[in-house]
Structure 1
Amino acid sequence: MDLQNIISEWGWLIAAAVLIGLEILAPGVFFLFFAFAAFIVAGVSWVFNFGWQIEVLIFASIGVVSMVWGRKYFKNNQIIAEDHPINDPMAAFLGDVVTLHTAIENGTGKANIKDSVWTVLGPDAEAGAQVKIVDKQGQKFIVELV
Protein backbone atom coordinates (compact mmCIF):
# COMPACT_ATOMS: atom_id res chain seq x y z
CA MET A 1 0.00 0.00 0.00
CA ASP A 2 1.49 3.33 -1.02
CA LEU A 3 0.80 6.83 0.25
CA GLN A 4 -1.21 7.74 -2.86
CA ASN A 5 -3.88 5.22 -1.88
CA ILE A 6 -4.01 6.55 1.67
CA ILE A 7 -4.25 10.22 0.69
CA SER A 8 -7.11 10.04 -1.76
CA GLU A 9 -10.15 12.22 -2.20
CA TRP A 10 -11.81 10.37 0.67
CA GLY A 11 -8.76 10.93 2.83
CA TRP A 12 -8.95 14.66 2.18
CA LEU A 13 -12.67 14.72 2.97
CA ILE A 14 -12.02 12.87 6.23
CA ALA A 15 -9.23 15.34 7.01
CA ALA A 16 -11.63 18.23 6.35
CA ALA A 17 -14.22 16.68 8.70
CA VAL A 18 -11.62 16.13 11.43
CA LEU A 19 -10.37 19.71 11.08
CA ILE A 20 -13.93 21.05 11.32
CA GLY A 21 -14.39 18.93 14.46
CA LEU A 22 -11.22 20.42 15.92
CA GLU A 23 -12.48 23.88 15.03
CA ILE A 24 -15.66 23.23 17.00
CA LEU A 25 -13.67 22.08 20.04
CA ALA A 26 -10.86 24.63 19.94
CA PRO A 27 -11.22 28.37 20.53
CA GLY A 28 -10.47 30.77 17.72
CA VAL A 29 -10.69 30.31 13.97
CA PHE A 30 -7.60 28.39 12.94
CA PHE A 31 -8.53 24.89 11.80
CA LEU A 32 -11.37 26.19 9.62
CA PHE A 33 -8.94 27.52 7.03
CA PHE A 34 -7.16 24.19 6.74
CA ALA A 35 -10.49 22.34 6.63
CA PHE A 36 -11.38 24.56 3.68
CA ALA A 37 -8.05 23.68 2.05
CA ALA A 38 -8.60 19.94 2.60
CA PHE A 39 -12.07 20.19 1.06
CA ILE A 40 -10.67 21.99 -2.01
CA VAL A 41 -7.89 19.40 -2.38
CA ALA A 42 -10.51 16.62 -2.21
CA GLY A 43 -12.29 18.20 -5.17
CA VAL A 44 -9.05 18.73 -7.06
CA SER A 45 -7.99 15.12 -6.49
CA TRP A 46 -11.32 13.88 -7.86
CA VAL A 47 -10.88 15.87 -11.06
CA PHE A 48 -7.13 15.56 -11.56
CA ASN A 49 -4.83 12.65 -10.82
CA PHE A 50 -1.94 14.45 -9.12
CA GLY A 51 0.59 12.70 -6.96
CA TRP A 52 0.32 12.98 -3.20
CA GLN A 53 3.23 15.43 -3.13
CA ILE A 54 1.34 17.92 -5.31
CA GLU A 55 -1.84 17.42 -3.26
CA VAL A 56 0.02 18.16 -0.02
CA LEU A 57 1.59 21.23 -1.63
CA ILE A 58 -1.84 22.46 -2.79
CA PHE A 59 -3.24 21.80 0.70
CA ALA A 60 -0.46 23.74 2.42
CA SER A 61 -0.66 26.61 -0.07
CA ILE A 62 -4.43 27.01 0.13
CA GLY A 63 -4.36 26.61 3.91
CA VAL A 64 -1.76 29.31 4.46
CA VAL A 65 -3.24 31.72 1.89
CA SER A 66 -6.77 31.32 3.28
CA MET A 67 -5.51 31.77 6.84
CA VAL A 68 -3.64 34.98 5.95
CA TRP A 69 -6.65 36.30 4.03
CA GLY A 70 -9.05 35.30 6.82
CA ARG A 71 -7.00 36.96 9.54
CA LYS A 72 -6.89 40.22 7.55
CA TYR A 73 -10.61 40.03 6.74
CA PHE A 74 -11.76 39.25 10.29
CA LYS A 75 -9.38 41.80 11.81
CA ASN A 76 -10.86 44.58 9.66
CA ASN A 77 -14.50 43.50 10.18
CA GLN A 78 -14.75 43.12 13.94
CA ILE A 79 -17.95 43.99 15.76
CA ILE A 80 -17.26 46.38 18.61
CA ALA A 81 -19.05 45.02 21.68
CA GLU A 82 -20.07 48.42 23.07
CA ASP A 83 -21.94 49.31 19.88
CA HIS A 84 -23.74 46.00 19.59
CA PRO A 85 -27.40 46.02 20.75
CA ILE A 86 -27.07 42.58 22.35
CA ASN A 87 -25.30 44.31 25.25
CA ASP A 88 -28.19 46.76 25.70
CA PRO A 89 -31.49 44.94 25.10
CA MET A 90 -33.55 47.86 26.41
CA ALA A 91 -32.28 50.02 23.54
CA ALA A 92 -34.39 47.92 21.17
CA PHE A 93 -37.53 49.54 22.63
CA LEU A 94 -36.45 53.15 22.06
CA GLY A 95 -38.87 54.87 19.68
CA ASP A 96 -41.70 52.37 20.28
CA VAL A 97 -45.20 53.66 20.98
CA VAL A 98 -46.79 51.75 23.87
CA THR A 99 -49.98 51.80 25.94
CA LEU A 100 -49.99 52.83 29.58
CA HIS A 101 -51.03 50.00 31.91
CA THR A 102 -51.57 52.36 34.84
CA ALA A 103 -51.76 56.13 34.89
CA ILE A 104 -48.58 58.14 35.21
CA GLU A 105 -48.95 60.05 38.47
CA ASN A 106 -46.21 62.20 39.97
CA GLY A 107 -44.00 61.21 37.03
CA THR A 108 -44.20 57.41 37.49
CA GLY A 109 -46.47 54.79 35.93
CA LYS A 110 -46.56 51.40 34.24
CA ALA A 111 -46.73 50.56 30.52
CA ASN A 112 -47.35 47.41 28.49
CA ILE A 113 -44.16 46.83 26.51
CA LYS A 114 -44.22 43.68 24.38
CA ASP A 115 -45.38 40.97 26.82
CA SER A 116 -44.33 42.68 30.06
CA VAL A 117 -45.29 45.59 32.25
CA TRP A 118 -42.48 48.11 32.76
CA THR A 119 -42.08 51.17 34.95
CA VAL A 120 -42.11 54.37 32.95
CA LEU A 121 -41.21 57.95 33.83
CA GLY A 122 -42.82 60.93 32.18
CA PRO A 123 -45.54 63.57 32.29
CA ASP A 124 -48.82 62.68 34.02
CA ALA A 125 -51.21 60.75 31.76
CA GLU A 126 -54.27 58.51 32.08
CA ALA A 127 -54.18 54.71 31.88
CA GLY A 128 -54.62 53.52 28.29
CA ALA A 129 -52.90 56.58 26.81
CA GLN A 130 -50.34 56.11 24.05
CA VAL A 131 -46.78 57.16 24.92
CA LYS A 132 -43.50 57.01 23.03
CA ILE A 133 -40.33 55.61 24.62
CA VAL A 134 -37.62 58.26 24.20
CA ASP A 135 -34.90 57.14 26.64
CA LYS A 136 -34.05 54.76 29.44
CA GLN A 137 -32.87 55.31 32.97
CA GLY A 138 -31.62 52.18 34.70
CA GLN A 139 -34.46 49.65 34.40
CA LYS A 140 -37.09 52.31 33.67
CA PHE A 141 -38.15 53.94 30.43
CA ILE A 142 -38.62 57.66 29.92
CA VAL A 143 -41.71 58.39 27.83
CA GLU A 144 -43.51 61.35 26.28
CA LEU A 145 -47.13 61.70 25.23
CA VAL A 146 -47.96 60.98 21.62
Structure 2
Amino acid sequence: MVNGPEFWWWWIAAVVLLILEVMVPATFFLWLAISAAVVGILSWLIPAVGWEAQVLVFAVLSVASVVAWRVYLKPRTEASDQPTLNRRGEQYIGRVVTLTEPIANGTGRIRVGETTWGAEGPDLPAGTRIRIAGVSGTRFRVEREVE
Protein backbone atom coordinates (compact mmCIF):
# COMPACT_ATOMS: atom_id res chain seq x y z
CA MET A 1 0.00 0.00 0.00
CA VAL A 2 2.88 2.33 -0.79
CA ASN A 3 1.07 4.12 -3.63
CA GLY A 4 -2.45 4.05 -2.26
CA PRO A 5 -5.37 1.69 -1.88
CA GLU A 6 -5.05 -1.72 -3.45
CA PHE A 7 -7.26 -2.39 -6.48
CA TRP A 8 -9.50 -4.74 -4.51
CA TRP A 9 -10.50 -1.91 -2.16
CA TRP A 10 -12.15 -0.22 -5.11
CA TRP A 11 -13.96 -3.44 -6.00
CA ILE A 12 -15.21 -3.76 -2.43
CA ALA A 13 -16.38 -0.15 -2.63
CA ALA A 14 -18.16 -1.00 -5.89
CA VAL A 15 -19.97 -3.93 -4.25
CA VAL A 16 -20.98 -1.80 -1.26
CA LEU A 17 -22.30 0.90 -3.62
CA LEU A 18 -24.25 -1.73 -5.57
CA ILE A 19 -25.80 -2.98 -2.34
CA LEU A 20 -26.78 0.62 -1.53
CA GLU A 21 -28.34 0.91 -4.99
CA VAL A 22 -30.46 -2.17 -4.32
CA MET A 23 -31.53 -0.88 -0.91
CA VAL A 24 -32.15 2.72 -2.03
CA PRO A 25 -33.20 2.52 -5.70
CA ALA A 26 -32.38 5.90 -7.15
CA THR A 27 -30.08 4.95 -10.06
CA PHE A 28 -27.40 7.06 -8.46
CA PHE A 29 -25.21 4.62 -6.55
CA LEU A 30 -25.08 2.41 -9.66
CA TRP A 31 -22.92 4.95 -11.47
CA LEU A 32 -20.67 5.42 -8.46
CA ALA A 33 -20.27 1.64 -8.25
CA ILE A 34 -19.32 1.43 -11.92
CA SER A 35 -16.82 4.24 -11.42
CA ALA A 36 -15.28 2.45 -8.43
CA ALA A 37 -15.01 -0.78 -10.43
CA VAL A 38 -13.32 1.06 -13.31
CA VAL A 39 -10.81 2.66 -10.91
CA GLY A 40 -10.19 -0.79 -9.44
CA ILE A 41 -9.44 -2.17 -12.91
CA LEU A 42 -7.17 0.79 -13.71
CA SER A 43 -5.25 0.44 -10.44
CA TRP A 44 -4.90 -3.30 -11.08
CA LEU A 45 -3.54 -2.67 -14.60
CA ILE A 46 -1.35 0.28 -13.53
CA PRO A 47 -0.32 -0.41 -9.91
CA ALA A 48 2.02 2.61 -9.71
CA VAL A 49 -0.87 5.09 -9.72
CA GLY A 50 -1.02 7.02 -6.43
CA TRP A 51 -4.12 7.33 -4.25
CA GLU A 52 -4.59 10.98 -5.20
CA ALA A 53 -4.90 10.08 -8.87
CA GLN A 54 -7.21 7.17 -8.06
CA VAL A 55 -9.56 9.38 -6.05
CA LEU A 56 -9.45 12.04 -8.76
CA VAL A 57 -10.31 9.50 -11.47
CA PHE A 58 -13.13 8.13 -9.29
CA ALA A 59 -14.55 11.62 -8.73
CA VAL A 60 -14.36 12.57 -12.40
CA LEU A 61 -15.86 9.26 -13.56
CA SER A 62 -18.64 9.49 -10.96
CA VAL A 63 -19.69 13.01 -11.89
CA ALA A 64 -19.39 12.35 -15.62
CA SER A 65 -21.42 9.14 -15.49
CA VAL A 66 -24.21 10.62 -13.35
CA VAL A 67 -24.46 13.71 -15.57
CA ALA A 68 -24.35 11.61 -18.75
CA TRP A 69 -27.14 9.37 -17.43
CA ARG A 70 -29.32 12.35 -16.53
CA VAL A 71 -28.78 13.92 -19.95
CA TYR A 72 -29.50 10.60 -21.68
CA LEU A 73 -32.62 9.90 -19.60
CA LYS A 74 -34.30 13.31 -19.76
CA PRO A 75 -35.53 13.29 -23.39
CA ARG A 76 -36.50 9.62 -23.14
CA THR A 77 -39.15 9.91 -20.46
CA GLU A 78 -42.42 8.73 -21.95
CA ALA A 79 -45.60 10.71 -21.71
CA SER A 80 -48.28 8.73 -19.93
CA ASP A 81 -51.56 7.94 -21.63
CA GLN A 82 -53.17 8.59 -18.21
CA PRO A 83 -51.40 11.68 -16.84
CA THR A 84 -53.84 12.12 -13.93
CA LEU A 85 -53.72 8.49 -12.80
CA ASN A 86 -52.25 9.20 -9.37
CA ARG A 87 -53.77 12.66 -9.02
CA ARG A 88 -57.32 11.70 -8.24
CA GLY A 89 -58.74 15.20 -7.82
CA GLU A 90 -57.49 16.31 -11.23
CA GLN A 91 -59.42 13.48 -12.87
CA TYR A 92 -62.65 15.30 -12.04
CA ILE A 93 -61.77 18.70 -13.55
CA GLY A 94 -64.43 19.69 -16.05
CA ARG A 95 -67.06 17.32 -14.65
CA VAL A 96 -70.50 18.77 -14.02
CA VAL A 97 -72.19 17.67 -10.78
CA THR A 98 -75.17 18.74 -8.70
CA LEU A 99 -74.40 20.53 -5.47
CA THR A 100 -75.75 18.38 -2.60
CA GLU A 101 -75.01 20.87 0.17
CA PRO A 102 -74.99 24.65 -0.19
CA ILE A 103 -71.75 26.59 -0.51
CA ALA A 104 -71.76 29.27 2.19
CA ASN A 105 -69.04 31.87 2.78
CA GLY A 106 -67.04 30.40 -0.11
CA THR A 107 -66.75 26.85 1.24
CA GLY A 108 -68.92 23.77 1.20
CA ARG A 109 -68.97 20.10 0.34
CA ILE A 110 -69.89 18.28 -2.85
CA ARG A 111 -70.45 14.63 -3.61
CA VAL A 112 -68.70 13.15 -6.63
CA GLY A 113 -69.52 9.51 -7.14
CA GLU A 114 -69.20 7.79 -3.78
CA THR A 115 -66.88 10.42 -2.27
CA THR A 116 -67.55 13.73 -0.54
CA TRP A 117 -65.07 16.53 -1.30
CA GLY A 118 -64.52 19.99 0.08
CA ALA A 119 -65.43 22.78 -2.34
CA GLU A 120 -64.49 26.43 -2.76
CA GLY A 121 -66.46 28.83 -4.88
CA PRO A 122 -69.25 31.36 -4.98
CA ASP A 123 -72.12 30.96 -2.52
CA LEU A 124 -74.66 28.67 -4.17
CA PRO A 125 -77.75 26.84 -2.93
CA ALA A 126 -78.06 23.04 -2.86
CA GLY A 127 -79.28 21.56 -6.14
CA THR A 128 -77.25 23.95 -8.33
CA ARG A 129 -75.39 22.43 -11.29
CA ILE A 130 -71.69 23.23 -10.89
CA ARG A 131 -68.55 22.54 -12.90
CA ILE A 132 -65.33 21.47 -11.21
CA ALA A 133 -62.80 24.06 -12.38
CA GLY A 134 -59.70 23.01 -10.49
CA VAL A 135 -58.15 21.41 -7.45
CA SER A 136 -56.50 23.16 -4.53
CA GLY A 137 -55.05 20.53 -2.21
CA THR A 138 -58.02 18.34 -1.26
CA ARG A 139 -60.66 20.90 -2.22
CA PHE A 140 -62.31 21.46 -5.57
CA ARG A 141 -62.60 24.95 -7.00
CA VAL A 142 -66.08 25.07 -8.48
CA GLU A 143 -68.13 27.47 -10.60
CA ARG A 144 -71.76 27.64 -11.60
CA GLU A 145 -72.52 25.63 -14.75
CA VAL A 146 -73.68 27.89 -17.55
CA GLU A 147 -76.69 26.29 -19.23
Q: Distance in 1 between matches of 2:30 and 2:79?
A: 23
From 23, 26, 29, the equivalent of 2:24 is 26
What code does the residue aligned with 1:38 have?
Answer: A
Greater strand share, structure number: 1
Instruction: Tell me the equivalent position of 1:77.
Output: 76
- Are 1:64 and 2:58 matched, yes or no? no
**Post-superposition offset of 1:79:** 2.9
> Which runs of no fewer than 5 residues in structure 2 stay unpaired?
83-147
Q: CA deviation at 1:11?
A: 0.3
What's the RMSD between the two structures over aligned residues? 1.8
Write the deviation string for residues 14-73 of structure 1: whole angstroms up to 9, x where unpaired: 000000110111131111111110011011001112001100000000000001100111
The answer on whether the counterparts of 2:3 and 2:50 sit within 8 Å (CA) in structure 1 is: no
**Partners of 1:21 and 1:81 in 2: how far apart?**
31
TM-score, normalised to structure 2, is 0.51
DSSP 3-state at the match of 2:11:
helix
Shift of 1:82: 2.2
Residue among 11, 14, 18 paired with 1:13 = 11
Q: Aligned residue for 1:129?
A: none
Runs of 4+ aligned residues of structure 1 deviating over 4 Å after TM superposition are none
TM-score, length-normalised on structure 1?
0.51
Query: Which structure features the higher share of helix residues?
Result: 1
Compared CA separation, residues 3 and 82, structure 1 to 2 (3 A): farther
Q: State the one-letter code of the partner of 2:12.
A: I
